[in-house]
Amino acid sequence: MAGDGEFEFIRTRLLPLTEGDPAALGLADDAALLQAEPGQETVLACDSLVAGVHFLDSDTPAVVAARALRSNLSDLAAMGARPRGYLSAIAWPEALDAAWREAFVRALHREQSRYGLVLIGGDTTSTPGPLTVTLTLVGQIETGTALRRSGARPGEDVWVSGMIGDGLLGLLSARKAGTELAGALERYQAPDPRLELGLALRGLASAAIDVSDGLLADAGHIAAASACSLRVDVDTVPVSPTARDWLESGGALDALLAGGDDYELLFTAPAGCRERIAALGLSLDTNLTRIGSVMAGEGVQARWGDGSLMQPRKSGFTHF
């Protein structure tokens, strides 16, 4: 790294992000030491974000920091875990100067403070390639209570939180300056991980996943892990007024269902839990919508209100 040097950057910029947490060991050892609490399991989630793939080259340090931390936190939410800390591995291109790096660290500090976690370790390096931010989130959960993808059973309901499609519309807005779709840009730049909802769904939901690759693709992940089929009634999938306007102007619903980057929770639950789930949505001021059912079979059936099958052009995002 040019400028102050790698170790000076760690000491002066990254060390303050530990906030003195003993697990970080002052960022002076080869690894962190995390004390496991009795009756708790440790939950680990890791995602890499690459410039030009997961965020735009033109995105600001604040946007990159928010997307990096919040998208990882969404994985903890899907497991019903409480965040504890995180490790960061960042590959910096030489084209990013010290001012950009410092702005990123300040933004990362704001983000970690918002969600109550601290840096406990990691790595930093330079690269001739694109900026790459890899975060490993550490969470905790009571033993045996984690939400999994594999618990859905035929006869259960399929639910989703929030609104679907604004992540895609926000990305479209970010790519085309001057064409911002009201409210959607923020959903792309600073998604809101459903941590409280994930905690509350433990013991209520039978399976869960966060909607990152696309609603239909992520429904397929639950179906595969649970060895069953999920029917999604596409007319019931909740969309925002902005998305509704986009659809009425010629946008395609299957694009919203496959767009990803929504970071909502998709989950299944027994039909007998409907009243409790409705009450939960009210208590959290979070829209929870029943959008289908679990059936015997495999894969995902996306159906219109008249019972006919939707033929989506794709189900979601994949790297390969």
Binding site for substrate, residues?
54, 261, 317
Task: Name which of 129, 65, 51, 54 is nearest 101 in CA terms.
Answer: 65
By CB atoms closer than 10 A (0-12, 13-18, 19+), residue 313 is exposed
Residues at the annotated binding site?
30, 47, 54, 75, 122-123, 149, 210, 212-213, 261, 317
Judged on CB neighbours under 10 Å (0-12, 13-18, 19+), 306 is exposed
Return binding residues for ATP: 122-123, 149, 212
Token pair of 174 as six digits: 């970010």
What type of residue is 20?
Answer: G
Alpha helices, DSSP H only, in the chain? 6-9, 61-79, 98-115, 166-175, 184-189, 195-201, 215-226, 241-248, 253-258, 274-284
- Is residue 209 within 8 A of residue 265, CB to CB? The reply is yes
* DSSP-derived 3-state class of residue 275: helix
| CA gap 55, 57 in Å, rounded | 7
Residues pairing with 48 in the sheet: 134
The binding site for Mg(2+) consists of: 30, 47, 75, 123, 210, 213
